[in-house]
A and B are shown apart, each in its own frame.
Chain A
Amino acid sequence: MISKEVPEKADVVIIGCGVVGCAIARELSRYRLKVVAIDKEPDVGWGVTKGNMGVIHPFVPHKGKYKEWMCLEGNKEFEKLAKELDIPFKRPGLLIVALSFVQFLALIFAYLYLRLVKKINAKWIWKKKLLEMEPKLNRKAKAAIYVPTAGVTDPVKYAIALAENAAENGVIFLLNTQVVGFEIENNEIKAVVTDKGRIETKFVINAAGVYSDKIEELAGIRKRKMWHGKGVMVVFDQGLQNYYNHLIAPMPLRVDPRTKGGAISISPDGIPIWGPNLVEAKGKEDTEVDSSDINMIIKKFHELLPDFPVNAVMKYYAGVRPVNEDTWDFVLGPTEVKGFINAAYILSPGLTASYIIAKKIVEILQSEGLELVGKDDFKEVRKAIKGLSNMSIDEIDNAIRENPRYGKVVCLCNNVSEAEIREAIRRGAKTIDSIKFRTNACMGRCQGSRCLPEIIRILSEELKIPVDKVTMKGAGSEIFR
């Protein structure tokens, strides 16, 4: 997937390989174009994407220009995306629950608002049915709004799938590559300058996540103020898989225009994830977790599932979202520099909206003068790595006979075989974290304490590098020193 050579020319250069940049890359790969996608990290999806909880939102009421409709439309794309790209995706549905009488009153209004004003397919669920749907819910629950379209995916796997498919269709990915400037003549983009070389182009897409303000600045575009909103997620023990089956949120009494307030969620394979909260980050790379974040999240949601063993925390992590403080909406479209197009300041529900954003950006490119000629040989299907956890017993038996490395289990928590880890490396993983995100190795309850040595050995062997050069997440994060 990864190219080393910086091409001299491109029709479009995409800056940032998160879900948005990768979705644009994939959408553009349908056409006869030379597309280059750049990211400063060693892998795709390591910025805002990595810190996303994975919820495919059913709706986001918002007055802005894009968020609300793009969320609704984007939500509908995911069956097709999951089928074409072979990514984990489920629709557990969302339950907005009223525990108190005041919440119950608010719930009635919210229900009417969603049904009549927003035309959302929301269902009213009374207590009896609610407790059948979610038996471990607090018995004080009075009623709930059920929104069946709420879904969950794995954001990094989605970015990887988009990128792999885009690469197969000809997009060039330049990772570990930083944009340092632009060549602009007569207020028109002429070239992108990176630390690895210069690429002549007429079109630049700014999909740089929390760095989208810096990229605008490099092009001399008037500065918008970016606010960095940090969200912490708490992941619970694998033993609690399938403890509950829906996304669950308390009926909010005060609507915060900035945030939907997080939820009790699950990973696509049913591992509980709670969060995120919203606090101000100290900077773009501030993904530090505080005890107060963990406590805040647990306190907020525990009442919904009072018997849930909140001490059984498996891990916690944080993400930073880029916020355009004026609108709290996405910034999409052309700028005062011709050819410089923003897909920037993408905050929640950016994951849900990602594919609609991509389609919109392609439309904008066309109206800005990019000629789009479809390819006859576009391959829309991409296959995930075949693994022990997604094969039947007979398939596993056959797989081992074809490749004995399927019979060697490296990660015991998630049943990941050596064959899968080697395949991940062949598909572009160069670091331990890249293997984690592709295979789920090290993502279970032992957090890699049992499989790390084996993964280091395999990485060193496949990449033909000494073990000292094996890193957790790129240069500076070596294991040995």
Chain B
Amino acid sequence: MEEITKELIIVGAGLAGSYLGIKASEYGFDNVLIIEREPSIGGILRHLRHVNITYPDTGEEIAPQELLMNLNNELQSAEVEIWKETTVIDLQEGFKVICVNPNKGVTLVNAEKVVLATGGKEINQYDLRIVGSRPAGVFTALLAIKLVDLFNKRIGRDVVIYGDNELVKEVVTRLKGLGSNIKYLVTDKKHRDIRKDTKEFIEREDIEIIDYAQVIRLHGVKRLERIEVMKNDSNDIEEISCDTLIISKGFLPDLILIKKVGAGIDFSKLEPIKGENLETTIKDLFVAGLAAERKESINDILKSIPVIK
């Protein structure tokens, strides 16, 4: 087992981790290591085709694949060290970062400062207290996107989408391309409060919106057969038959390493306890991007970047 020492470790080379890696070299760190579990950087960016991201330094909107290319180039020119296909399996105060890689085995990295940019977990049916049965056919949006990108297979015939964040665009385009029928988009917002870009897109795609309503119950033993949707104003319940439900309501922070290292968690929000600069309750441990706080919109990821000095 190899043991090395670094000044700053960034866990995760997604949008937040990559951006922070570039910033860190600007701040003057020359001994930075980003640890990424996938074979390439970018995280969620790798799965976006239609959602533009606002770049904080310029305020410009950039197409996702272009942003991914820029991040790759800048990381390279800043000579930031990135270990790919490497997963952090434990984090101990001090800091000791324990990671595994198929070719290198276990490496113990000692670090002065650590930023957790491990992303989020998608808000799912349990977070939303959708009750009833537990059939196949219920997917979170990014999962649905990944399944289609990876296997190019249809994940369902009659689909209802719940939520209205940007991923809806990515989901609808892919699913329609494979011949799914998108029956409805259900959102708990009132029609006027639905994100403008989503609303325009959904109307263009001729998908009916059920606004100010919640999906409350699933039916079906093996595969989803129908869902119950409750209108928020009247409490009227409508049953919709569908074999697929896609939940597109954003992300909660990944708390796995936060828990392992023993940093504080605010369970009422399911977020790490953090200060203004996204410092956790442990000195020199920071959180960034989706790992920092609950986010509905991907465009907010770069709003949570700590300044590390």
Contacts and interface: CB of A to CB of B under 8 A. Distances in A.
Given A315-B126, A404-B103, A473-B222, A467 B153 contact: yes
A109 to B, nearest CB: 37
A476 B142 contact: no
B259 A241 contact: yes
Nearest to A394: B1
Contacts of B100: 388, 396, 400, 406-407, 409, 417
B134 A287 contact: yes
A245 interface: no
Contact of A397 (B106, B154, B256): B106
B222 A467 contact: no
Contacts of B255: 237-239, 445
Interface residues of B, number: 54
A481 B156 contact: yes
B307 interface: no
A468 B154 CA distance: 9
A447 interface: yes
Given A400-B100, A404-B103, A477 B223 contact: yes
Interface in A454-481: 456-457, 467-468, 471-481
B12 to A, nearest CB: 10
A452 B145 CA distance: 12
A290 interface: yes
A449 interface: yes
B221 A294 contact: no
A45 B216 CA distance: 29
B104 interface: yes
B131 A446 contact: no
A478 B155 CA distance: 9
B126 A409 contact: no
B223 A452 contact: no
B291 to A, nearest CB: 12
Interface of A: 237-241, 285, 287-291, 294, 309, 311-317, 388, 393-394, 396-398, 400-401, 404-409, 412-413, 415, 417, 444-450, 452-453, 456-457, 467-468, 471-481
Q: What 9 pairs across the A-B complex have the smallest Cβ distances?
A: A309-B267, A476-B222, A407-B102, A404-B102, A446-B121, A409-B87, A472-B136, A480-B153, A477-B136
Given A240-B267, A409-B37, A477-B136, 16 more contacts: A237-B255, A239-B255, A311-B267, A315-B126, A316-B131, A393-B1, A412-B37, A412-B256, A417-B100, A448-B143, A449-B124, A449-B140, A472-B135, A474-B222, A479-B155, A481-B243
